[in-house]
């Protein structure tokens, strides 16, 4: 049950920030076309008007979270749970109802974090010394673990608004039951001496460094340089673009990995990419080494190349690949 005070607070926050995900949904129909259900799950949902309304409400919450970058973890957990529900309970109305009700409760609960855990209008003196309570993919036990602010500092100004960042460190779990975690936050200035969280990423088995505000053409980009830990750890591409009308500018998340699916077909025959690739956010390029088919992982002999990328809507796309001068030697047969 949502109290009147809670509803008023959420309504005010949603009006101010344009975040409709903070408001109760009034969806009355499924999110898909019940005139032509695509699979068994959709057929089961469409056969029950109450189930259709429930699915539509869950889908509305999920859709409205799409423009809120710091809810990446919640979106990923929700999508995984929904995929499991579709696969395991496609023909069981009761199981679908329980699953959708559980998803709706989880979405509502985690959406409350924005207003109830200090993620808006937090005093700077507190942010410099005390970690905010961020949702964790590791569950309730992870919420109780200790945390320290490893770094807090200024990033610069975009659209006349000042931005800052914070890096959190969570000490290793002595029992070994919880994965190592880190967090990176980007905050925007509000009232004097106060900051509101724009982006917060709590990551497992990763390290992050100071974010970067960069210009690329007419776009203002925000790059969070994070990478998986371990010798084979790869970069975690976290890229955002400043977008929206002048009255309500937000950091829009950019899909920054899909371009790699088209990379292999652009490489010369017999060459491949195995190692870590890192994005240059100012030039939108990625430099990498090339392996021949019979190379050991430690010792690439195929030279170097550079992928040139472009922003296309809300994603990065591969424009072309340039082999570095003197590195185009064909594989030895």
Band (pLDDT 50/70/90 cuts) for residue 185 is very high
Which SS3 state, helix, strand or coil, does residue 281 take? coil
Which domain covers residue 274, as residue numbers? Answer: 258-323
Beta bridge partners of residue 46, listed in sequence order: none
**Of the candidates 127, 48, 149, the residue with the CA atom closest to the CA atom of residue 91:** 48
d(Cα 310, Cα 326) in Å, to the nearest integer? 26
Range with top average pLDDT, 115-124, 186-195, 211-220 = 211-220
Same domain, 127 and 250: yes
**Mean per-residue pLDDT of the chain:** 81
Q: How many domains does the chain have?
A: 3
Same domain membership, residue 135 and residue 88: no
pTM, full prediction: 0.65
97 with 223, same domain?
A: no
Q: Of 229, 254, 279, which residue sits at a domain end?
A: 254
Q: pLDDT by residue (tens digit) across 284-299?
A: 999 988 999 899 988 8
**Residues whose CB is less than 8 angstroms from the CB of residue 318 and which lie 6 or more positions away in sequence, other chains included:** 259, 260, 262, 263, 266, 307, 308, 309
Radius of gyration of the chain (CA): 23
**Which residues are within 8 A (CB) of 92 and not within 5 positions of it... i.e. 6 or more apart?**
44
- Name which residue leads in pLDDT, 75 or 115: 75
Q: Look at residue 329 and tell me if it is in a domain.
A: no
Using an 8 Å Cβ cutoff, are 167 and 182 in contact? yes
Q: Please classify residue 69 by burial: count the beta carbons closer than 10 Å to its beta carbon, then call 0-12 exposed, 13-18 middle and 19+ buried.
A: buried
136 and 153 inside one domain: yes
Specify the range with the lowest mean pLDDT, choosing from 22-26, 136-140, 313-317, 323-327: 22-26
pLDDT of residue 118: 55
| Neighbour count for residue 234 (Cβ, 10 Å) | 13
**Is the domain of 133 the same as that of 50?**
no
Question: What pLDDT, in 10s, does the model give residues 196-230?
Answer: 888 888 898 899 999 999 999 889 999 999 998 87
Question: Quick check: 5 pLDDT over 50?
Answer: no
* Structural contact between residues 115 and 22, judged by C-beta atoms closer than 8 angstroms: yes
Answer with the one of 254, 289, 315 that is the final residue of a domain. Answer: 254
Q: Is residue 333 in some structural domain?
A: no
Domain contains 232: yes
Q: What pLDDT shows up at residue 321?
A: 93
Verify that 93 and 127 share a domain, yes or no.
Answer: no
Q: How far is Cα 198 from Cα 196, in angstroms, rounded to an integer?
A: 6
Does one domain contain both 244 and 158? yes
With respect to residue 330, please indicate whether it lies within any of the assigned structural domains: no
Reported confidence tier of residue 280, pLDDT bands at 50, 70, 90: very high
Does residue 16 form part of some domain?
A: yes
> Of the candidates 81, 114, 147, which is a domain's last residue?
114
Q: Provide the pLDDT confidence category of residue 231 given band limits of 50, 70 and 90.
A: low
CB environment 46-55: b (16+ within 10 A), e (fewer)? beeeebbbbb
Band of the pLDDT at 20, cuts 50, 70, 90? very low
Could you tell me the pLDDT band of residue 70, with boundaries at 50, 70 and 90?
Answer: low
Specify whether 187 is located in the same domain as 300.
no
CB contact at 8 A, 212 and 225: yes
Q: Are residues 62 and 189 in the same domain?
A: no
Give the percent of the chain with pLDDT over 90: 40
Cα–Cα distance between 42 and 34 in angstroms, integer? 7
Instruction: Answer yes or no: do 241 and 266 share one domain.
Output: no
| pLDDT at 69 > cutoff 60 | no
Provide the 10 A C-beta neighbour count for residue 100. 21
Assess whether pLDDT exceeds 50 at residue 149: yes
- At residue 330, the pLDDT reads 47
Q: State residue 173's pLDDT score.
A: 81
């Amino acid at each position: 049950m949502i109290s009147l005070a809670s509803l008023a607070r959420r309504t005010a926050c949603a009006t101010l920030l344009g975040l409709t995900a903070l408001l109760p949904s009034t969806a009355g129909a499924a999110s898909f076309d019940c005139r032509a259900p695509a699979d068994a799950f959709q057929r089961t949902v469409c056969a029950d008007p109450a189930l259709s309304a429930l699915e539509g409400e869950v889908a509305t919450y999920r859709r409205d979270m799409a423009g809120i970058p710091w809810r990446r973890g919640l979106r990923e957990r929700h999508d995984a749970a929904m995929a499991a529900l579709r696969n395991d309970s496609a023909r069981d109305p009761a199981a679908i109802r329980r699953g959708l009700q559980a998803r709706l409760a989880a979405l509502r609960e985690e959406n409350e974090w924005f207003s109830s855990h200090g993620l808006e209008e937090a005093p700077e003196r507190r942010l410099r010394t005390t970690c905010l309570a961020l949702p964790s993919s590791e569950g309730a036990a992870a919420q109780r673990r200790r945390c320290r602010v490893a770094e807090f500092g200024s990033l610069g100004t975009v659209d006349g608004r000042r931005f800052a960042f914070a890096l959190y460190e969570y000490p290793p779990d002595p029992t070994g039951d919880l994965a190592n975690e880190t967090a990176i936050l980007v905050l925007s200035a509000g009232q004097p001496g106060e900051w509101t969280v724009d982006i917060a990423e709590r990551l497992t088995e990763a390290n992050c460094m100071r974010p970067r505000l960069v210009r690329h053409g007419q776009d203002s980009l925000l790059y969070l340089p994070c990478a998986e830990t371990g010798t084979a750890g790869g970069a975690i591409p976290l890229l955002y673009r400043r977008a929206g009308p002048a009255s309500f500018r937000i950091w829009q998340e950019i899909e920054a990995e899909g371009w790699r699916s088209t990379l292999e077909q652009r490489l010369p025959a017999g060459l491949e990419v195995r190692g870590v690739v890192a994005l240059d956010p100012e030039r939108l390029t990625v430099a990498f080494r090339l392996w021949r088919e019979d190379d050991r992982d430690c010792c690439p002999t195929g030279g170097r190349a550079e992928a040139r990328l472009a922003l296309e809507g809300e994603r990065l796309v591969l424009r072309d690949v340039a082999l570095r001068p003197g590195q185009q030697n064909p594989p030895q047969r």
